[in-house]
Chains A and B, each alone.
Chain A
Amino acid sequence: MTSSITDTPEAENASQPLSDADPQDASAPTAAQSPSDKSSADQSPADQSPADQSYGEWTKLSPLSIIHFTLVPIYKFLTQGLQGLLPLFAVILTAGDKRWLILGIIGLVGSVLLLIFAVLSYLRFRFRLEGDQVHIEKGVLNRKVLHLDFDRIQSVDFQEPLYFRPFNLIVLKLDSAGSMTEEVKLGGIKRALADDLRKVILARTAAKAASATVPIAQKEQQTKTAEELAEETAAAAKPLLSLSTDELIRYGLSNNNIWVVTGIVGGFLPQLQPWEWGVFQAIGDFGDQNFGHLVYGLQIFVALICLLLFFLLITASVIGAIVSQYNFKLSYNQDGRFHRSKGLFERVETSVPDNKIQSVMFKRSWMAHLVNRWHIYIKQVSFGYAQAQQQARGGDSLLIPSAKDDFVTQLQSIIYPDFKLSDQFNPIAKRYMIKRLLYIFLPIGLLLSIPFFLNSAIGYYGLLWWALPVVCAPMVYLRWLRYGVQLHDNHGVIRSGFLGKKYTVFPLFKVQKVSVVQSYGQRKSGHATLNISLAGTRLSVPYMDLKDAEEWRDRILYKVETSSKNFM
C-alpha cells in the first residue's frame, strides 16, 4: 500500500522521478510518438521556449557515437565484470594447446557481438525536449523511455573523452535528483548542440528557481523568456578560479587518497598467490645477501623499500590529480550558476545552479595544512543507492582541489551571501573525552590484555594494554578540540576532524531531518548527540548540551517550515 504525494513527479515510483516504461510497452513504440506530441504548436505559449522549435523533434546522436557505445561496455566490463570472469580465464588458460584458439574465438565472437550491439544502440537512441522535460528513448534489448523534468536536474556535465576530441563531440550528462537506476547521458552530440541544450535546460531551471523565490505580486511582472535569460547570463560569467599544475601537485600531495590506496594495497597483499610471493622473496634475499652483514642492515633495507613504495604512491596520487583535474577552471554566472571544467584526457565541464547546492564542506587534512591549501566539496543532492556508485566516480560533490584562504572566504560570500563565518566555534562537552576513553578505549585495552591471563608466558607486558586509554588520551583530546559548531540566523556550521579539520556550512532551510539522541548517561548529564540529515549528507555532533541541541532542532524546523524556497 504505497501512497505518494501526487503533485510531485516522484509520484509514480518510490523515490524514482524517472519513469521507466515496461518492456511490454516497447512493443508499441508508436505509443510514445503520436503525431500530436511532436507538434510544438500544441503546446501552450507558456510552455514554449525557442528550443522547442529546434529540439521538439526527435533527434539522433551523431553516428560516431557508435565508438562511445563500443567503448563504454568494454570499460564497464574491465572495471566491474572482470573479477567474475577471471576464473573462466583461468580455466581456459589451463586448457592446454587449444587455449589460444579458444581465447581467440571468444575474443572474435565477443567483438562482433559488441559491434552489433553498439550499432543497434546508436540506431535505437533518440531524444528531444518536450515542455519542461527531456525525453529519451534508448535500449536494444530492453527498450527504455525516460522523461526527466528540468527541475530535477542538479547539474549538467559535458564530458569530452579522447575518442571524441578529434570530432568535436560531447557526451552530455544530466545529473538528476533521485535517479537510482538510470544515468541520463547523450553520448555523442555536436558541441554546439550541447551548448544549446545546456543553455535551455539551465535557463529554465534558473527561471523556475528565481520565480519560486519571488513574492507572488512580482511574478506577474516577469516577462523575460528563457531565451532572454540565457543570453543575458551567458555573457555574465565571471571566472573565479584557475588552477595551475603546481596547485594540482599540492592537491596530489595532500590528498587523503594516498592513505586509501595504501590501505587497499595493504589489504591486497595477503591475498597474493604463492607464486607472487616469489617477488618479495627475491627482494628479501637480495637485501639479506647485500645488507644482512651490516648491523641493522636488513631493517634499514626494508625501511627504504617501504619509503620507496610510499614515494611511488605519492607520485601516483599526484599524477592522478593532474590527470583528473588538469586545467581546472571555475567560473560563476551572474544568474547563479557555477561552471567547472577540468581533465587532461577526458575533458569534463559541469554546470551547477547554485540553488541546487545543499552544503559546502571545507576540508584541510594535515597534509593540506602543510601546503597551506583547502579542499572544497560543493555538495549536491544524492540518493542512497546511487551514492555508492557516485562516490566511486568522484562523488556527487563538485571538488575544488586546491584553494587558498581568501578563496574560501570569497566562495562562501558567493554561495551564501548573508552568511559570515565566525572565528568562534562553540565546543562540545569535555565529557566527550572521558566517555570515549572510558567506554571505548578502556574496554579495548582490557580485552587486549586477556591473553595475559590465559597464557602466563606473555609476561607482564600483556598488562600494558591497560594503559591504552592513557596513550590514546592525546588523540581523543585532539578530536574533541576539532569538534565545533556555529548556529547563525540562517546557516549552520559543523566542524570536526582529527589531525586535520573540516567544516560544513549549510543553510538551515535545506535540512531534511533532525534527530536528537541521548544515551542513558547523557540523560543524566544533560547532553545529547545531534544528527542533521541533508539531501545526501549526514552531519553528526556528539556531546552537545541538550539545550543547544534542542535549540538547533527548533531553529532548523522553524527555518525549514517557514521557508518558501525550494531546497533543490
Chain B
Amino acid sequence: MTDFINDAIEIDTIPKASTLSYEPLSPKHVKSVVIPALLFLSIPLLILSVLTITVGKVTFDKTWWFYPIYGSIALSIMVYTPISVRKKGYALRDFDIHFRKGVIWQQTTSLPYNRIQHVEVVSGPLDRYFDLAAVKIFTAGGGMTDMEIPGLENDRAVEIRDLVIDKAAKARAGKLTADENSAVDAEQVYDTSEVSHDQ
C-alpha cells in the first residue's frame, strides 16, 4: 500500500493574530476624553453651587454629600481614562486590521480587508482642537460601525483610511498580495515574535 499523505491545513502555518504588536493611540486622546467628561460633569455641580449660594433653602449642610461624590466621580474618570486609552491599540497586517480595547473586559476585533464596505474619518469638535480623529470601518454585517479606532493623529487617521480603502479595493479585485508596500506599512512595526497579551 502506497503511503497516503493527506496534509491537513497545518494550523502552524496559518498566521496567528495573537502575536501582533499593537500601535497605541495618541496620548492627547486622554485629554480629549477627560476634558469633555469633566465639563459635562461640572454642570450639575455648578448649578448646585449657585443654588446653595443664592437660594436660602438649599444649604450647604443639607447638600454637602454631593460634592465628595462628584469629586470621586471626577477622580475616577481622571484615573480610569489613561488606563483605558493605554489598553487600546490597533494593528495592520497585509490582509486584515485589528483593534484591541478594554480594561476589565479585553476585546480584540479583527476585520479582513476584503470584507470592508467603507471607511470614514470622523472628528468631534474637541478632536479638532487636538488635531485628532477617529477611523470608522463598516462591513456588510450591519448598519453600525464595525470597528472604530479613536484618538489618532489626524494625519495618521487619513493614512490608515487611505491604506484600508486601497487594500480593500485590491482585495475585492483579487489583486491583494502580501508584498504590497505603502507609506504606512513602512512605519508599522510588525514584530511577530512579541506576544502582546498585556495584563
Contacts and interface: CB of A to CB of B under 8 A. Distances in A.
A280 interface: no
Contacts of B8: 489
A100 interface: no
Nearest to A564: B174
A75 B146 CA distance: 36
Given A554-B17, A561-B114, A516 B11 contact: no
Contacts of B14: 554-555, 558
Interface string B20-54: 00000000000000000000000000000000000
Contact of B138 (A14, A177, A519, A555): A14
B86 interface: no
B199 A523 contact: yes
A513 B17 contact: no
A1 B113 CA distance: 20
A538 B105 CA distance: 19
Q: How large is the interface on A (under 10, 10 to 19, 20 to 34, 35 or more residues)?
A: 35 or more
B141 A558 contact: no
Contacts of A516: 107-108
B81 interface: no
Given A8-B117, A513-B115, A518 B105 contact: yes
B124 interface: no
Contacts of A511: 115
A568 B11 CA distance: 27
B105 A5 contact: no
A532 to B, nearest CB: 10
Interface in B41-91: none
A384 B142 contact: yes
Interface in A506-527: 511-520, 523
B140 A567 contact: yes
A558 B106 CA distance: 23
Interface string A142-179: 00000000000000000000000000000000000110
Interface string A513-549: 1111111100100000000011110100000000000
Nearest to A383: B143
A3 B143 CA distance: 16
Interface residues of B, number: 51
Contact of B114 (A384, A513, A517, A560): A560
Interface in A1-22: 1-8, 10-11, 14-15
B162 to A, nearest CB: 8
Contacts of B107: 515-518
A197 B199 CA distance: 59
Contacts, number: 141
Interface in B87-122: 95-96, 102, 104-122
A560 B140 contact: no
A146 B115 CA distance: 25
B114 A15 contact: no
B180 to A, nearest CB: 13
A350 B101 CA distance: 43
A25 interface: no
Nearest to A553: B17
B140 A384 contact: no
A385 interface: yes
Secondary structure call for the A interface: mixed
Contact of B172 (A7, A512, A520, A523): A7
Nearest to B102: A517
Contacts of B174: 564
A5 B169 contact: yes
B120 A551 contact: no
B104 A519 contact: yes
Given A489-B9, A554-B16, A564-B174, A5 B140 contact: no
A550 interface: yes
B171 to A, nearest CB: 7
A567 B104 contact: no
Given A513-B139, A513-B141, A514-B110, A1 B17 contact: no
B140 A512 contact: yes
A384 B143 CA distance: 4
A515 B109 contact: yes
Contacts of A26: none
A15 B17 contact: no
Contacts of B111: 512-513
A180 B66 CA distance: 46
The residue among B18, B95, B102, B104 with the most chain A CB atoms within 10 A of its own CB is B18
A429 interface: no
A557 interface: yes
Contacts of A7: 169, 172-173
Q: Which of A4, A11, A557 has the most CB of B within 10 A?
A: A557
Given A557-B96, A557-B112, A3 B119 contact: yes
Nearest to B138: A15
B132 interface: no
A469 to B, nearest CB: 22
A8 B142 contact: no
Contact of A554 (B15, B119, B147, B199): B15
A413 to B, nearest CB: 22
Interface string A180-195: 1000000000000000
Contacts of B115: 511-513, 560, 567
A253 interface: no
A561 B113 CA distance: 8
Contact of A561 (B96, B141, B162): B96
A381 interface: yes
A176 to B, nearest CB: 12
B165 interface: yes
A535 B138 CA distance: 11
A155 to B, nearest CB: 16
A5 B110 contact: no
B152 interface: no
Contacts of B16: 550, 554
7 contacts: A1-B120, A2-B118, A3-B162, A11-B118, A518-B105, A518-B106, A554-B15
Interface of B: 8-9, 11, 14-18, 95-96, 102, 104-123, 138-144, 146-147, 161-162, 165, 168-169, 171-174, 197, 199
Across the A-B interface, give the 3 residue pairs with the lowest CB-CB distance, nearest first: A384-B143, A384-B142, A512-B141
Interface of A: 1-8, 10-11, 14-15, 177-178, 180, 381, 383-385, 387, 489, 511-520, 523, 533-536, 538, 550-551, 553-555, 557-558, 560-561, 564, 567-568
